[in-house]
Amino acid sequence: MVHYNIIALGYFIVIDDIWDVSLWEKIQYSLVENNLGCKIIITTRNREVAEKIGSSIYNMQPLSDEISGILFYGRIFGSREMCPEEFSVVSTKILKKCGGVPLAICTISSLLANKKENIADWDELCGSIGSGLAKDPSMEGMRKIMSLSYYDLPSHLKTCLLYLSIFPEDFDIRVDRLILRWMAEDFIKQVKTGDSLYEIGYGYFIELVNRSMIQFSENIFGKVYNTWRVHDVVLDLICSLAKEENFVTLSHDIEQNTSQQSKVRRLSLQKTSGATSCEMSHVRSFTIFNPAIDSMPMLSSFHALRVLDMEGCNLQDHNLSYVGSLVQLRYLGLRDTRYAGELPKDLGKLQFLQTLDLSDTDVKELPASIMWLKRLVVLRLAWNTRLRSGIFRNLTTLEELSRVTFIESTNFVEDLGGLTNLRELQINLQAMDQSSMETFLLSLCYMQKLRELSILAVSVINMEDWAPPHCLREFVLRQQDVDALGRLPSLEILYLEKYKVATGETLTVNSSMFPRLTMWSSIRTSIVPVFRRGSAPRLRDINFHFSVWNMMEAWNGSLDFGLENLGCLEKFIARVNDRHATEQEREAAVEGLRRARDTNPNGATFDVRSSQHYHLLF
């Protein structure tokens, strides 16, 4: 397919991270030599591969001493100037051994950031590196440096890090998926009664980030630190360690060792390998990725399973009736599987189940027995999943309830009020009448641990009498009253979509409103607010989608956002709908946006485009 698409074209192709010549030989058959000035760039860390593939080799140069120092000292002390004099000599020696390799510098500096008080630790570390990368720039030299960081971890973080070997290279993993699986494996220990295991697990995650063992890969608006990945050098190390300790078994481990003398504890099938021959009776964790779905073993072969994660696999033709017999199961991940079958009626037998993720499936109804899952912490549904009356009455341990749709039941709203441990609620209230809405708001008052609330509603909800919990961090509410939101003392992220504003009315953010807000998004709407002096003092990011015609009508022919009052603003994104606007109104809108940019005291970056044609307006 690639060959025929490029046969008559000039092309520029970048192929990243080739480790084996045989892989390149397979790829090159798809390419065409057509004398049209085509270029191919290949990256590799194996010089032998580079010499066999290319006629022109460019060797990446290490970082200069100056840049290396900025990276090293900045991570530990804030700057080179803040480094104590007694640490300067050993710092120079360590930097030299890092050989100008960014990953090595980041790893070592993250390790030393926790040892700023004792120079003896620095001397010991410097000696343990040996010659370092300055004289041994090979992968083995890099692995030795990475190993220092691994062996410096406390035991509970070593376990959590080795667990990452379950996921394939360059695979983006959601933070919540990882933490919930740690919980199911009993890796997270409660310090005192009442502490949330999820919050403790998030602390583990952040500590691994701070030590440069893992890195964030995506930052979705309103979902800070949403996904992460492991650098392939780090992943190579932890996969090797996990194999040595029989901690995780991967697809290719099964292929290479058919005898399987040791018991398989955690199995990760990442690619198709034919029938899986290993013994499943001792497997505690089973993860399968879509390329390996044809190797899916019978669920009845598992006897000790705690984690069953099939996220992203196509399960349209699979039967999950045996899941109800996996009585030790703690985590059941069916997200994005398109599973449309029934859940087993005896699902309530899974008395240890903590997470049930049915997001983006076609499961039509929950079995009645689900109300007996008294240890359930996370319940994620599909929007079209039907609920039974009284289903939440016993689920008082729930901390997250997502994509739940209101049903006409006398007890539905009252039962929600019993979920006092909720930290996240996402609910569709479009079928709710005014009386039930008032009861719902009373139920919210009992949710004092709530941090994220998402409500889908047709009509505006009157929230003036609702005193939100102080721990509320995220509030995603459509068609909401700006003043009511502005009084939320802890609100940091606000996402509004498709709200309506009465003709001729305006939206204004007044002084002292939104004291902690950092991100505001108003999309698929007609009018966006104007910020007055003293409002939203911490606001950094704005994402506005609005109608020129509606804004002009509301503000009597002018366009003003009040950005001169936002001293911390860093980024302003606007998507402008000018479909019904006159040429004069379009020009006035562009001029108003330019004025907003020029008057912002923080010099924020602007990205202003037409929502119809997506071209920049200035």
Give the tens place of pLDDT for each residue, 52-86.
Answer: 777 688 877 878 888 888 888 888 888 888 888 88
DSSP state letters, 576-607: EE-TT--HHHHHHHHHHHHHHHHH-TT--EEE
* Whether 136 and 93 share a structural domain: yes
Encoded tokens for 218: 């995506």
Q: Assess whether 91 and 28 both reside in one domain.
A: no
User: Quick check: is 561 in a domain?
Assistant: yes
Same-domain check for residues 137 and 89: yes
Same domain? For 98 and 193 the reply is: no
What is the value of pTM for the model shown?
A: 0.71
Q: Is residue 220 part of a domain?
A: yes
Q: Identify whether 160 is part of a domain.
A: yes
Cα angle value 310/311/313 (rounded, 5°):
75
Q: Which residues pair with 250 in a beta bridge?
A: 268
The domain in which residue 13 lies consists of 2-53
Q: Please list, in sequence order, all residues whose beta carbon lies within 8 angstroms of the beta carbon of residue 596, skipping any fewer than 6 positions away.
A: 560, 561, 563, 564, 572, 606
Instruction: Find the angle CA(489)-CA(495)-CA(499) to the nearest 5 degrees.
Output: 110
Which residue do the tokens 């009052």 mark? 565
Domain boundary among 238, 256, 284: 238
Q: How far apart are CA 282 and CA 288, in angstroms?
A: 17
Lowest mean pLDDT among 212-221, 292-301, 460-469: 460-469
Residue 323 included in any domain: no
Residue 255: pLDDT over 80: no
Q: How far apart are CA 26 and CA 606, in angstroms?
A: 44
Most confidently modeled range among 206-220, 356-370, 589-603: 356-370
Distance CA 573, CA 41 (A): 34
Please check whether residues 162 and 137 belong to one and the same domain. Answer: no
Instruction: Return the H-helix or E-strand segment holding 491.
Output: none
Q: Do residues 610 and 504 both lie within one domain?
A: yes
Q: What is the maximum alpha-carbon separation in the chain?
A: 79
Based on the fold, state whether residues 192 and 147 are members of the same structural domain: no
330 occurs within a structural domain: no
Q: How many domains would you assign to the chain?
A: 4
Answer with the one of 152, 179, 206 that is the final residue of a domain.
Answer: 152
Is 272 a domain residue? no
Q: Is 488 left (phi over 0), alpha (psi -120 to 50) or beta?
A: beta
Interatomic CA distance for residues 529 and 510, integer angstroms: 10
Instruction: Tell me, yes or no, whether 170 lies in a domain.
Output: yes
Mean pLDDT over all residues of the chain?
A: 81
| 377 contacts 419 by C-beta, under 8 angstroms | no
Residues 209 and 191 in one domain: yes
Same-domain status, 27 and 90: no
- Which amino acid belongs to residue 570? E
Query: Residue 48 CB: number of other CB atoms within 10 A?
Result: 9
Please check whether residue 251 lies inside any domain of the structure.
Answer: no
Same domain, 122 and 162: no
Rounded to whole angstroms, how far apart are CA atoms 345 and 387? 14
The two tokens of residue 601 are 């005291």
- Same domain for 16 and 138, yes or no, is no
Domain boundary among 152, 178, 193: 152
pLDDT category at 478 given cuts 50, 70, 90 is very low
Q: In angstroms, rounded to a whole number, what is the distance separating the alpha carbons of residues 387 and 416?
A: 13
Range with the poorest average pLDDT among 15-24, 455-464, 483-492: 455-464
583 and 545, same domain (yes or no): yes
